[in-house]
Structure 1
Amino acid sequence: MTPFLSLILTAFTANLIFTKALGISTITASAKSKTDFVGIGLMVTLLTTVGCGITYGINRLFPALDTAYRPAAYILVLAVLYILLLVLLQAVGRPTFLRFRKYVHLCTFNCAVLGTLLLSAAQSTSLAASLQFGAVSGLGFVVGAWALKAVYPKLTCDRVPASVRGYPAILLYIGILSMALYAANIK
């Protein structure tokens, strides 16, 4: 297997949408329009990468942080990132703020972002590994959103039976795709 193909396969299988079924509502929102797809993809990637770096620091500073309190601490990290992003966008200018605030609102408390932070805490052994995990997870989210965007019109058209049209068809598609990608990654 070529390194490029291996990297693509890893990005697919590391994708939280397919492996953990996280972020389904956000990915369906991004599949509806081209501009939302790009904005949501960039924001999720930014949040997962920066968030994983910050949570790695928290784990190093507080190694005894109980796993019961870890989600609350990570939600607090996301709340701080949320406020900082909005302040930063406001400082850049009102047009920029008005253009990008919806992506901050939609993506910050997305379960794919929080799931990435929680999984990173369990898997990352260094800051570089944590940042890489966050970036790959965010990019995997983008690839997953693109895979859904490609078939979204077909899953919501009138030819699909009404009982599974729309969201049920999307969930079935994601489930089948996740099994195929998981099977491709088995060694």
Structure 2
Amino acid sequence: MRTVRVRTAARAERTHAQAAARPSVGALGGPRAEPAREAPQPLTAPGSTAASGPPTRARRGGTPRREVLRDALRGDRGQAAIEFTGMIPVILATLALMWQAALVGYAFSLAGNAADEAAHAAAVGGDCAAAAQRAMPGAFHADPSCGGGTGAVTTAEVKVEIPVFFPGFNIPIDVTGHGAAVREDQHGAS
């Protein structure tokens, strides 16, 4: 495998050398005129003194220092970094809104679960409020109201405040969960 690579590299070098030695031919069969190329001049930063002296490329009557500054400002180096820096607040605001939406959804889920637990506790004759609070994580607080319903069904309603960014820092907006369960003493009698 190594031998093949060495042979291929040597063949590529020979082909390149042969192409460079061949005279270029123009459209009518004569030698093609190669355009004259100037060697690129090194640019120096404004205010620095280079060992080669000041830049020699001056155009439109500007001073060499202004030309260097003009060339530096005209390029697009660093453009991606500037655009990313400008987008950071938008990205962070989007992430914060998504996190807040997730917390609102979680509060709705907790309120519904706590209402179901409270309704079940009321259906078996237990403490509805204690069951609702047990169903909530530590940072959330449940405000249950139990005992509604007609006939063989008992209902419970649990209100939970929506947290802002972190559970425990709540805003005064409540989400409500509703739960219902069949009373055990009524179900067994039928």
TM-score by length of 1: 0.23
Which protein is bigger by CA-based radius of gyration? 2
Q: Which has the higher helix share?
A: 1
Highest RCO, 1 vs 2 (Cα 8 Å, sep ≥ 6): 1
